Amino acid sequence: MAKRLALVTGGMGGLGETISTKMADAGYRVVVTYSPSNKTADKWVAGMKSGGYDFHAYPCDVADYDSCRSCVANVANEIGQIDILVNNAGITRDMTFRKMTKADWDVVLHTNLDSVFNMTKQVCDGMVDRGWGRVINVSSVNGSKGAFGQTNYSAAKAGMHGFTKSLALEVAKKGVTVNTISPGYIGTKMVTAIPKEILDSKIIPQIPVGRLGKPEEIAGLIIYLCSEEAAFVNGANIAINGGQHMA
């Protein structure tokens, strides 16, 4: 049987890159998407290839439905049908609600939540028709507990799981599972760029295990959810936050 094909949105980011490489290590064929504004995509692909990862990368504005439709059509024509979708792309525009503009709200909701519809819509029917599929939505601990200065981000990440639960009900009998994972603070470049004194005094003390999570740990959970052994996990929101928030 041909190897399953996985598409990871935002696959060139700190977490996305680790998800992509670990999925490739686990035997999946991997396609990544990147923002059309990314001018270093070719360099990234070349760097991955020199490291042994022959990734295919496609520009895609995940906030734009037509861009997602075109992207997935190109993947299907050039690589194959998508068996696994990891909705990982996301952005932040953090500020208090008082300072937040409509544009700040819209860009986060479009990129973090509308994208889940835009991408899943392109692949879900094919998964159902073939009788197998995995949709994994990467949310956040702050979608579960809220966060100061993140009304836009937390609303989008909470909305992802409402989507997950409802779609899971619709496709469960067709061999397709839909799940959410909600990482806490992970040691990506974005998080480790936070001043050390803030990490040490404000963030790490909130995490019972006493450290940041590792991107590899997030990837490991995603790989499990893609497996046959995880076929009974459906509509779940799996927290992976070191005990920072227990629902």
Distance CA 243, CA 104 (A): 30
**Strand boundaries in 60-207, DSSP class E:** 84-87, 133-138, 176-183
Given 53, 153, 185, 224, the catalytic residue: 153
Of the candidates 173, 81, 167, 161, which has an alpha carbon nearest to the alpha carbon of residue 122? 81
Active-site residue, 153 included: yes
The CA distance from 235 to 160, in Å, is: 11
Residue 180: strand pairing partners: 137, 237
- For 13, the token pair is 């980011």
* 30 neighbors 24 (Cβ within 8 angstroms): yes
The CA distance from 147 to 125, in Å, is 35
* Residue 10 CA to its chain's centroid (Å): 7
Spatial contact of 18 and 42, defined as CB atoms under 8 Å apart: no
The residues that are catalytic are 153
